[in-house]
Amino acid sequence: MNLSGFLFNNYKKTNNNGVVTWSSPSNIALVKYWGKKEHQIPENPSISFTLDACKTITEVTFETKTNNETFSFEVFLDEKAKPDFHPKIETFFKRIEAYLPFLKDFHFTIKTRNTFPHSSGIASSASGMSALALCLMSIEKELSDANLTEEYFIQKASFLARLGSGSACRSLEGDLVVWGHHPAIKGSSDYFGVKYPYQVHEVFKNYHDTILLVDKGEKQVSSTVGHNLMHGHPFAKQRFKQAVDNITNIKEILKTGNLEAFIALVESEALTLHAMMMTSMPYFILMKPNTLEIINKIWAFRKETGLPICFTLDAGANVHVLYPQKDSEIIYEFIKTQLVGYCQNGHYICDRIGFGAKQL
Ligand code: 2P0
């Protein structure tokens, strides 16, 4: 793909001031992204469910300024100034400046909040970076003479979000998004996420994700460090091939609604992700004892009842419990009575598959 298509060529400096607001959801990967090349290019394709309840709402006010040599912005989380967010946003602005030539012409006031608790161990980088990328695209739209198509708008927003945080490029649309080129997924790209373009079985509609908050503390190893440890990792090549094969296989599963195969693929992906962490050098473990307690309880309950409950994991100790709408009553009862006791302060979040970002 020719990236020059994402340049903002007709930009002319104006005195526009304004405010834009977007709400963008989090997402949970079924086939995981773990390992990247330079410029935020993933080593393997990934696919995720877009979430619904877990989201970030970001408002960006832009005002023209005279000095256009540096970036100028302030960030507020829940109305409180967050200078510790500045380096990440500065890096993001540097990476995307070539595509958004207006960034140094304005002072930006970025006000953001998450619907999920701040220290819940749920990464806000996916929803946060996609909400910010969408706000910046809305500003481009206001400043541009060209008539930006909806497809261009979303694709470029996803392209920008990726440069903020890889998984953020999967947080713009729903309900399933693929990121990373894969020969069997039409339109898939290493540069942005695309809506999964094929038939999806009824059973996946309204799929539930109950997030069990096992550990709400800061992770000892950030995802960026974890990704980098895949360079020279002894099992990296095989892992990247496995992810490619799993994308091929999930296509058939999504079409037929074969939940047994879905469960095997999704749980294997989660455990492989953590196996990669445990076999990195230096090695690390993000799961906690209660993560394993929950996994074992889920397996025992599934064996006993035959119900299609399964788990997946992000880069942390929290457990995402996935199950279809049709069995949700009985499975939710099991979660409340048998699993919530393993959560830190009994905290969990009821989420489900969602349909993407919204302009407010
Ligand atoms: C994913 N994760 O596919 C995988 C699975 C976590 C586990 O993408 O360095 O925050 O900002 O590109 O996207 C988390 O990594 O990393 C992640 P950067 P990101 O969702």
pLDDT in tens, the chain (360 residues): 568 899 998 899 888 899 999 999 999 999 999 999 999 999 999 999 999 999 999 999 999 998 889 999 999 999 999 999 999 999 999 999 999 999 999 999 999 999 997 767 787 899 999 999 999 999 999 999 989 999 999 999 999 999 999 999 999 999 999 999 999 999 999 999 999 999 999 999 999 999 999 998 778 899 999 999 999 999 999 999 999 999 999 999 999 999 999 999 999 999 999 999 999 999 999 999 999 999 999 999 999 999 999 999 999 999 999 999 999 999 999 999 999 999 999 999 999 999 999 999
Q: Which CATH class is domain 207-352?
A: alpha beta
Residue 128 CB–ligand 1 contact under 6 Å: no
Q: Position of tokens 């994700």?
A: 209
With the CA atoms of 321, 324, 328 and 334 taken in that order, what torsion angle do they form, in degrees rounded to the nearest 10?
-40
CATH code reported for the domain at 3-198: 3.30.230.10
Q: Are 115 and 99 in contact (CB under 8 A)?
A: no
Separation of CA 28 and ligand 1 centre (Å):
10
Angle between helices 86-96 and 125-143 in degrees, nearest 10: 50
Task: Please compute Rg for the chain using Cα positions.
Answer: 20
- The residue whose CA is least distant from atom 8 of ligand 1 is 167
Check residue 109 and report its DSSP letter: E
Residue found by looking up tokens 């060529």 in the block:
9
- Give the residue, by CA position, lying nearest to ligand 1 atom 9: 224
Residues forming CATH 3.30.230.10 domain(s) in the chain: 3-198
Range list for CATH 3.30.70.890 in the chain: 207-352
Residues 6+ apart with CB under 8 A from 40: 95, 162, 163, 166
Residue nearest to atom 5 of ligand 1 (CA): 32
Q: Determine the pLDDT at residue 219.
A: 80
pLDDT at 312: 98
In whole angstroms, give the CA distance from residue 3 to residue 95.
14
The total number of residues shown for the chain amounts to 360
- The reply to whether ligand 1 has any atom less than 6 angstroms from the CB of 251 is no
| Orientation of helix 86-96 relative to helix 150-164, angle to 10° | 130
Quick check: CB of 93 below 6 Å from ligand 1?
A: no
User: What is the CA(142)–ligand 1 centre distance, in A?
Assistant: 31
CA 321–ligand 1 middle distance (angstroms): 19
Q: How far apart are CA 290 and CA 213, in angstroms?
A: 10
